[in-house]
Each structure stands twice: as C-alpha cells, then as structure tokens.
Amino acid sequence: MLAAVKGLLGHEALYVALQRAVGADRLRYRCLDELGLRDGDTVIDVGCGPAYYFGRLPRVRYVGFDTSPRYVAHARKRFGRPGAEFRCEIFGAEHLAELPPANAVLLLGLLHHLPDDASRHLLGVAARALAPGGRVISVDPTFHPGQHPISRWMSANDRGAHVREPERFAALAGESFAEVDGEVIDRLTRVPSSHWLMRMTAPRPGAELSAAAQAASGSA
Ligand SMILES: C[S@@+](CC[C@H](N)C(=O)[O-])C[C@H]1O[C@@H](n2cnc3c(N)ncnc32)[C@H](O)[C@@H]1O
C-alpha cells in the first residue's frame, strides 16, 4: 500500500498536490526567500523535479537538473523560457565549464535520495559551481531526538532511502564547505514533520574531488 502511494508520487501533478497539502511547499519558499536572490542572478537547481516553486524566484538565469523525464517535461512546459532551462541530466563536473558561476545552488529534497558517496560528489561539484559569495541550500527530512512520532514516521517512510540526522548531513557538507550551518524545522508544515535546512558557503579548495578521486590522486 505504502509502496503504491510512493509510486504515485512519480506523477508530477500528484507530487505537487501532496507537497502543497502537507505544507512542504512552505519549506521550499523559506529556502528561496532566505537566499535573497535578485534579477539576473544565476541559480542551479539540482533535483528540481516539477519545480513548482519556480514562480517564487525573481527573473534569474535558471538551470534545473532532474533524472525524471516526466518531472522535467512538466517543468519545461510550465516554466521554460529564455534563461530558464530544465535538463534531464545528472549535474556533474562536466557542466561547470558551460554554466556561469552560480549565486545559488538549490538542493531541495535531494540529498536524502542520495547515498553518501553520491552526496559527497554532488556537494563537491556544487561547491565548485558557486560564484564568489554564492551559497548552496538544502532541505531534507531528518531524524532528531524528541521528534513527534508522526514526524518520525514521515521521515522513516519517505521515498528517499537516505534520511539522516542533521550531524550526518552537516558532516558530508563540511567536506566541501568551510562554513556550514542549519536548523531543524518542525513547525512549518501542516502535518508533523522534521526537516534539516542547511546552508553551505565558503567552498574548500579541491572540493570537487570525491574521496575516491583524492585517494587515487594521492591528495587525500
Ligand atoms: C523530493 S524530489 C524534490 C523535487 C523538488 N526539488 C522539490 O523540492 O519539490 C527529489 C528529486 O530528485 C530527483 N533526483 C533523484 N536523484 C537525482 C540525481 N542524481 N540527480 C538529479 N535529480 C535527482 C528526483 O527525480 C526527484 O525529482
């Protein structure tokens, strides 16, 4: 039953409706609002999904990446315009040369879908994608002590198989960023849920190299 419900979320309209119903849209808006983006800024949105929050952005240069053809087609149809593109690709180091340095990289609801190695690699590439003063922001379900039982259930039964404690998200981010901070948000959604909102700045030199690549190059 639960698996069937999760499968239905691959349908973009149902996904967006559920996000709005539980109030997960508020978490996205909170992230976008605190970035304080301006017209002309460059934004890379990794795991953009249907990007239903796109209208909250000022007139930025926007590149969304997602692995779901359905989500990308939906986002492209609704929000595609000159300066706003949606790609059905995995964001990687090969994109850095062709994209302008980003004022913000959005990882909204993505890291809890990725295992540690893939998260590490993505965070490293995101760090390299930033313009001076640029920021990466993420928000994901989390586990924390004292969590409401319904919130714990929501985190445990999320579609993402890598829901982590805040410390584990922050430790991964700390490998690529010298400045990482965040907060648990558990009073913003309509149903009890707990999310870790994380801000990352000050990319570390060489952040794009995964641990494996560093080991292979002898620089680990
Ligand atoms: C929970 S959804 C979040 C979508 C959107 N950012 C939001 O906040 O509503 C996670 C998204 O990540 C995408 N995804 C999963 N792995 C990915 C990867 N390696 N690269 C890009 N997108 C990925 C999924 O297709 C899905 O659309």
Domains defined along the chain, listed by start: 2-217 (3.40.50.150)
Residue among 66, 87, 123, 188 to mutate when testing ligand 1 (max atoms within 8 A of CB): 66
Please return the burial class of 121, using the count of CB atoms within 10 Å of its CB with bins 0-12, 13-18 and 19+.
Answer: buried
**Ligand 1 atom with the shortest distance to the CA of 160:** 1
pLDDT digits (tens, 9 = 90+) for 164-220: 999 999 999 999 999 999 999 999 999 999 999 999 999 999 776 544 445 444 433
Run of H or E including 42: strand 42-46
64 CB contacts (<8 Å, ≥6 apart)?
44, 45, 48, 51, 72, 75, 84, 85, 86, 87
The residue whose CA has the least distance to atom 12 of ligand 1 is: 47
**Ligand 1 atom with the shortest distance to the CA of 107:** 6
Residue that has been written with the tokens 């309509």 in this structure: 190
How much is the mean pLDDT over the chain? 92
pLDDT of residue 12: 87
pLDDT of residue 206: 77
Say how far apart CA 46 and CA 200 lie, in whole Å. 15
Say how far apart CA 103 and CA 136 lie, in whole Å. 9
Q: Are strands 177-185 and 195-203 parallel, antiparallel or unpaired?
A: antiparallel
Residue among 56, 68, 113 to mutate when testing ligand 1 (max atoms within 8 A of CB): 113
Q: Are 185 and 161 within 8 A, CB to CB?
A: no
pTM over 0.85: yes
**From ligand 1's centre to the CA of 98, what distance in Å?**
22
pLDDT of residue 24: 93
| 212 phi and psi angles, rounded to 5 deg | -65, -40
Q: Are strands 61-65 and 84-87 parallel, antiparallel or unpaired?
A: parallel
**From ligand 1's centre to the CA of 145, what distance in Å?**
27
Say how far apart CA 163 and CA 124 lie, in whole Å. 20
Token couple for 23: 């109030």
The residue whose CA has the least distance to atom 4 of ligand 1 is: 49
**Ligand 1 atom with the shortest distance to the CA of 46:** 21
Task: Single out the residue of 142, 72, 143, 134 nearest to residue 111, CA to CA.
Answer: 142
pLDDT of residue 85: 98
pLDDT digits (tens, 9 = 90+) for 27-74: 999 999 999 999 999 999 999 999 999 999 999 999 999 999 999 999
pLDDT digits (tens, 9 = 90+) for 126-154: 999 999 999 999 999 999 998 999 999 99
pLDDT tier at 110 (50, 70, 90 boundaries)?
A: very high
The ligand 1 site (C-beta within 6 Å) comprises 19, 28, 46-49, 65-68, 71, 90, 108-110, 113
Residue among 110, 116, 155, 196 to mutate when testing ligand 1 (max atoms within 8 A of CB): 110
Q: Are 123 and 170 within 8 A, CB to CB?
A: no
**From ligand 1's centre to the CA of 215, what distance in Å?**
29
